[in-house]
Chain A
Amino acid sequence: MSLLSVENLTVHFRTRRGFSGKSAAVVYAVDGVSFSIEAGETLALVGESGSGKTTVAEAVLQLNTPTAGTICLDGVDLAKLSRRDRLAMKHRVQIVFQDPYSSLDPRMTVHDLVAEPLHAGKRMRPADVDSRVLSLLEMVGLGTQHLWRRPHEFSGGQCQRIAVARALAVDPDLVVLDEPTSALDVSVQARILVLLQELKQELGLAYLLIGHDLAVVESVADKVAVMYSGRLVEAGDAAEVFHRPRHPYTAALLASVPSPDPEVRSQLGVLQGDVPSSVNPPEGCRFHPRCAYRMPICETTMPEMRLVDGGTTRACHLPDDALPSAGAGDGGSDWIESSQLFIDEGVEASADSAAAAAAVLDGRPIDPLGLLNEKDRR
């Protein structure tokens, strides 16, 4: 039985308008997302803005109410629990936020910050609380000299450690890491990643890593799930997904990541247009307006997640054998070249400036033109 099992999670927000509270629009933040995390495993939820990954994390943390779908911890459906039991479950899932400073109450001392989750549970003697706080701080590489200081006296990296110590205070089984290092410098990021890995092994933690930095994700994650506009497009083992992406979006995403090796030419600008609006998502496959391989069926029918070889699942109408077998992590040039075959098949994007602009202002993205820009060749 998986530690965390999410089935068909759907979260729609209604935007309230006016005195009577009648809803004006629905934000389709998350639509039918399913995944599972085993104990001691790291699953990375990858996506850009508007993908819904943060909403999924908040749902798992019980910070919002799902519109549909189930979230099960050790097989227990959270929605079916009484309020009391649900509160008791809260300690099993904890979170570390992206911005180290705003996730810590600036008026509290480190001791009080780390001790706070302990006070939320059953009563502990002050001496026990103190010693637990000290041992937690030691676990993250801080000490007694830091106990009575306030967050603003620390660097970003140290604040993140405090946040990690706090998250571990109640002995969680799963820690949600919401882009834990994106606000940190590279060298500090490395320290935090090493720390997280050590803690994972020592304490047998499972991690749900929300991220958009694919390099970080690749080095830390066991499994990856890629989200786009509220839906999952591809999921599987990290190594598989990163080296053999099977969804055009995943491939484009990987190709867009600039490699620190100047001799490897990253395919910059592979994906045109912008993320679709969550209020008015495109019909059919949500990625189709930006996809260079779209077929008529993509515009009408939402693709389902299907298992392909190698153990990954993906949601795409492209036939399995159409995808190349070359790796895409370092530029994907082979992938791009072999996909030339698809260019003639119904890829007609509007080149009319006016229509494009109109599309932009309606919230729809500019239709992609030139996914294979001549200037890609250096």
Chain B
Amino acid sequence: MSDLLEITDVSLEFRSLRGVVKALDGVTLSVREGEILGLVGESGCGKTVTGLAVLGLLPKPQARVTRGQIAFRGDDLLAKTDEEMLHVRGKVISMVFQDPLASLNPVFTIGEQIGCVVATHQRASKKEARQATRRALAAVGLPATDSLLGSYPHQLSGGMRQRACMAMAISCGASLLIADEPTTALDVTIQAQILRLLFDLRDELGMAQILITHNVGVAAQTTDRVAVMYAGTVVEQGPTQDVMKRPHHPYTVALYECLPHGKKAGELITIPGSVPDLIDPPAGCRFHPRCTKALEICSSSKPLPTQIAPDHWVACHLAVQQLDSCGSAVSL
């Protein structure tokens, strides 16, 4: 499978009142055709920023990509002008956000909003736009009826609104969908429906996806490959089965130990310390101040992604050391 989207060594900064926030530091990711890549991490890890950076949706003067490349089918996205990006967004790569109510314009009907996207990208006639809208609605499991087309966002439930947003996202045949916490605001059973929908989009439309989430369970069940992020860096990435069953980075391991699934509250092992301030991030490995297994080198030298198994990369000095000494990766 070829690489659809390649993010190579991207570093990004934000200018803020208090200083320069080094939001991303050397992020390398790739998404292949027809696969779902999960971007997992806690708040402040940079997963949403990465998603927005792909589509050039970050505020222009404040946010600056200082290094690296984002290429879609070989086409450099960072080099594009705003005008050119307009043709990418919605048509080639689309995005769905956390709060569907905020993503939909309350004064336009669902039909009008989806139709608008179609009309913008495909220069379709009204009739064609309506047909495309109906197809999109059907693809996301909504009834493609006149009454639904004519209803306003507030008349729909949360799950239906999110489906409507996804209909908008797929209406023009985009090849990549970036879903930023699409189910966080939804109930568990509705979340399950939406996750199932993501599968359908992958299987029936061949749509590749980046699923950004802080919920490890969602990532485990829905993604083919996963990248774990911490404080603006990718600490581990690889096939979901590998990364989650045999994690090698101390943060990934610690994350699992925090999860309450199947454990009593007294058994939870917590991560000491707190997420670093990205205006003044720790030198070397950004996780080292909180890492129970930190080595001397971790405080001075930034670990680079190293392949420890087929398609499984870890940015950790300890993992690399163990690889060298044992000849094969040892899971922590």
Contacts and interface: CB of A to CB of B under 8 A. Distances in A.
A touches B in complex, CB < 8 A: yes
A263 B217 CA distance: 11
Interface in A183-220: 185-191, 193-194, 196-197, 212, 214-216, 218-220
B80 interface: no
A258 B143 contact: no
A207 B220 CA distance: 31
Contact of A360 (B43, B143, B214, B217): B143
Given A258-B222, A260-B261, A269 B274 contact: no
A162 to B, nearest CB: 15
B255 A353 contact: no
A255 B254 CA distance: 26
A356 interface: yes
Interface in A279-306: none
B120 interface: no
B220 A269 contact: no
Contact of A353 (B144, B151, B155, B240): B144
Interface stretch (B122-130, B167-175, B185-193, B303-311): B185-193
Contact of B192 (A186, A265, A270, A356): A270
B243 to A, nearest CB: 9
A252 interface: yes
Contact of B157 (A193, A196, A275): A275
A215 B261 CA distance: 5
Interface stretch (B25-33, B62-70, B263-271): B263-271
Contacts of B275: 155, 185
A201 to B, nearest CB: 9
Interface stretch (B82-90, B94-102, B194-202, B314-322): B194-202
Contact of A197 (B245, B262, B266): B266
B268 A193 contact: yes
B264 A219 contact: yes
A361 interface: yes
Nearest to A182: B184
Interface string A342-378: 0000000000011011101100001000000101000
Contacts, number: 167
B189 A48 contact: yes
Contact of B145 (A186, A255, A274, A353): A353
- The dominant DSSP class at the B interface is helix
Contact of B268 (A194, A268, A361): A194
Contacts of A266: 192, 217, 221
A272 B196 CA distance: 11
B279 interface: no
Contacts of B244: 260-262
B259 interface: yes
Contacts of B259: 186, 190, 215, 260
Nearest to A269: B196
Contacts of B151: 361
B188 A257 contact: yes
Counting chain B residues whose Cβ lies within 8 A of the other chain, the interface size class is: 35 or more
Nearest to B259: A260
Interface string B221-233: 1100000000000
B245 A268 contact: no
Contacts of A261: 220, 244-245, 261
B139 to A, nearest CB: 14
B79 interface: no
Contact of B254 (A185, A187, A272, A373): A187
A298 B214 CA distance: 39
Given A259-B217, A262-B245, A274-B160, A218 B260 contact: yes
A271 interface: yes
A31 to B, nearest CB: 20
B159 interface: yes
Contact of A185 (B43, B199, B219): B43
Contacts of A188: 42
B280 to A, nearest CB: 16
B225 to A, nearest CB: 11
A113 interface: no
A289 to B, nearest CB: 14
B270 A260 contact: no
A186 B255 contact: yes
Contact of A361 (B155, B256, B261): B155
A354 B192 CA distance: 24
Interface in A238-271: 252-253, 255-263, 265-271
Contacts of A197: 265-266
B193 A258 contact: no
Nearest to A185: B42
Contacts of B269: 190
Nearest to A200: B265
Nearest to A156: B43
B283 interface: no
Nearest to B271: A187
A284 B247 CA distance: 49
A368 to B, nearest CB: 11
B109 interface: no
Contacts of A187: 42, 254-255, 258, 270-271
A67 interface: no
Contact of B220 (A252, A262, A274): A262
Q: Which of B189, B259, B263, B274 has the most CB of A within 10 A?
A: B189
Closest 3 CB pairs of A and B: A269-B196, A258-B217, A48-B187
Interface of A: 48-49, 155, 157, 185-191, 193-194, 196-197, 212, 214-216, 218-220, 252-253, 255-263, 265-272, 274-275, 329, 353-354, 356-358, 360-361, 366, 373, 375
27 contacts: A186-B42, A186-B214, A187-B255, A187-B258, A190-B258, A212-B188, A219-B261, A219-B264, A220-B265, A256-B192, A258-B222, A259-B261, A262-B240, A262-B244, A268-B196, A268-B199, A268-B222, A269-B195, A274-B157, A275-B157, A354-B143, A357-B148, A361-B147, A361-B155, A366-B143, A373-B196, A375-B196
Given A48-B188, A255-B192, 8 more contacts: A186-B259, A215-B262, A218-B260, A253-B188, A261-B261, A262-B221, A274-B159, A375-B200
